[in-house]
Amino acid sequence: MSKPYKRLLLTGAAGGLGRRLRGRLHGLADVVRLSDVAEMGPAGPGEEVVRCDLADRAQVLRMCEDVDAVLHFGGVSTETEFAPLMAANIQGVVNLYEAVHVLGVRRVVFASSNHTMGMYRTTDRVDAGMPTRPDGYYGVSKVFGEALSRMYWDRFGIETVCIRIGYCFPEATTHRQLATWLGLDDLVQLLERALLTPHVGHVITFGVSANPGLWWDDHLASFLRYQPQQSSHALAAAVAEGPAPGQPADPALVFQGGPFLHMGPKYPAHE
């Protein structure tokens, strides 16, 4: 039985999500090309392994050769100083879109982040049509990636699904994690919808499961027909009683960015 793609590229394959996704993509492509700047181990059946520094334009061009679609999970995945974010998340995403444009790749799935909207309050209901409000340098870098991918759609017709990924870990220990939790099975389903839905153009969707108390409204991406089957309700018993999001005093409880409000630029949060 033929698969939708001949060769699918997964960047960031040595990262936390990349490692968990590695074995879940083989139904989508004859070959899954894995790439990261870090060691990924040997290639398994139906895999290729390509080491690549996203900040190196020539390496990125080679990484993207003969690829039909890209799952871009590469780059720095947390709040930190600006310099490494500049190299991996800003220069890196420019290099990626230059490469896919030159090589004729027509579909990218961009792993964006909920931290593009982290300065909205936990009492706000947010959709993708609202202005971005990043909570730090990391969020800013993802806003840049969303904007760049939009430009490549508008000018060159390269389709992109930007997924503002929530908290994608097996367990939850805080109220924020319960609200933003994304189960791995749901993430795989969302990636499938992002890759297989025809004519996506440029769209932003929220990567989140069917959790109680959702902060995000995904109606603008409803045509993807993503239907989460998992819920953080099953994890709620493990969350200790304590301050719930929305209570004053700690900005990590007031704003959707959570603990990222204690990282990065040291300026007081305000409204």
CA angle, corner 95, sides to 145 and 85, nearest 5? Answer: 55
Residue 193, both tokens = 């919808």
pLDDT at 67 over 90: yes
Helix (H, G, I), strand (E, B) or coil at 142: helix
Weakest mean pLDDT among 2-11, 29-38, 111-120, 257-266? 257-266
Q: What is the pLDDT of residues 209-266, one digit of tens each?
A: 999 999 999 999 999 999 999 999 989 887 865 555 555 568 888 999 999 988 877 6
Residue 38, both tokens = 């870090």
Give dist(CA 31, CA 51) in Å, integer.
Answer: 16
Domain borders along the chain are: 5-262
pLDDT at 267 over 80: no
Give dist(CA 195, CA 184) in Å, integer.
Answer: 16
> Are 208 and 216 in contact, with CB atoms under 8 Å apart?
yes
Top CATH class of 5-262 equals: alpha beta
Q: Is 138 a catalytic residue?
A: yes
> Are 180 and 173 in contact, with CB atoms under 8 Å apart?
no
How is 170-200 classified by DSSP, letter by letter?
Answer: S---SHHHHHHB--HHHHHHHHHHHHHSS--
What pLDDT band is residue 1 in, cutting at 50, 70 and 90? Answer: confident
Catalytic, out of 120, 137, 138, 226: 138
Q: What is the pLDDT of residues 6-19, one digit of tens each?
A: 999 999 999 999 99
> Are 99 and 61 in contact, with CB atoms under 8 Å apart?
yes
pLDDT at 61 over 60: yes
Helix (H, G, I), strand (E, B) or coil at 72: strand
| 246 Rama class: left (phi>0) / alpha (psi -120 to 50) / beta | left
Please list, in sequence order, all residues whose beta carbon lies within 8 angstroms of the beta carbon of residue 251, skipping any fewer than 6 positions away: 261, 262, 269
pTM exceeds cut of 0.85 = yes
> Are 44 and 18 in contact, with CB atoms under 8 Å apart?
no
Give dist(CA 66, CA 68) in Å, integer.
Answer: 7
Residue 205, both tokens = 């969707």
Residue 151, both tokens = 């430009």
Q: Choose between 243 and 2: higher pLDDT.
A: 2
The pLDDT of residue 249: 64
The angle, 0 to 180 degrees and rounded to 10, between the axes of the packed helices 92-103 and 137-156 is 20
pLDDT at 57 over 70: yes
Average pLDDT, the chain: 94
